[in-house]
Structure 1
């Protein structure tokens, strides 16, 4: 399984998708979804945030036939969960609030179930329900450096 965007793995997230511009999610492509996938989960996190990783966007119950997400949209048929600050919606990298280079992991999980959870679910609850149901995982790393 693969997750791709207009930036390559390990390269900078374009400014358009940060708080310094439109702050919309980048376009994403999902490839080679494993057989038996009933739903997918997308979690974007800044692993360099302190005191713990910061969830910038969480979307679950993405239907397995969804192979792309346009910039600034939620995947069709999916449920947007809560990100940090108990908020809905994409929150892009924000270099004005940190120093150095931060690593943003776009993690896509293929599950053998559809999660029976309300939209206002926290990441910890979603991850708990995912346990034992992950068929495969794909990762895309984007960087953002305070300048």
Structure 2
């Protein structure tokens, strides 16, 4: 069985609805996963955009959301999940707005790709005190037992 990540809001490589972006309510999308590896002790979710600031000339990967130590007993996150509604034990890292929590797509130009990456780890990570994506990835190194992703696309409306 294949470890999978999906959302009722958008399909793989499909458009992300405006309600999940800075152009509307900026709600985190509902995410669901299946078939996590048997040896999973915790899950990590990283949402980022490798096309920043311009897909024609990307210069950086913009991090939108960092969650870690999600319990393997859950099979997803509801839409608009807030810090006080995260599963017990879940910790957050910093996004590129230098805050915790979800920050939706808000591209300055062009169509951007948003990678929702879910990792299964064979350990529970210590409290890394709101790590950046880089610090979290270093802590995960050597402990990833499975990985899946869901990619969504977004281009801002011309009349914004």
TM-score, length basis structure 1: 0.94
- Structure 2 gaps of 5+ residues are 54-58
Q: Superposed, which structure 2 residues align to 1:1-147 within 5 Å?
A: 1-6=3-8, 7-50=10-53, 51-74=59-82, 75-77=86-88, 78-95=90-107, 98-147=108-157
Q: Deviations over 1:85-142 (max 9, x none)?
A: 32111000014xx111100000000000011133421111110010000001001000
Equivalent-residue separation in structure 2 for 1:29 and 1:120 (angstroms): 24
CA contact (8 A) 1:82 1:119 kept: no
Conservation of the 8 A alpha-carbon contact between 1:43 and 1:59: yes
The alpha-carbon deviation at position 146 of structure 1 amounts to 2.6
Runs of 4 or more consecutive aligned structure 1 residues displaced over 4 Å after TM superposition: none
Q: TM-score, normalised by structure 2?
A: 0.87
Q: Which has the larger radius of gyration?
A: 2
Q: What 5-or-longer segments of structure 1 have no aligned partner?
A: none
RMSD: 1.1
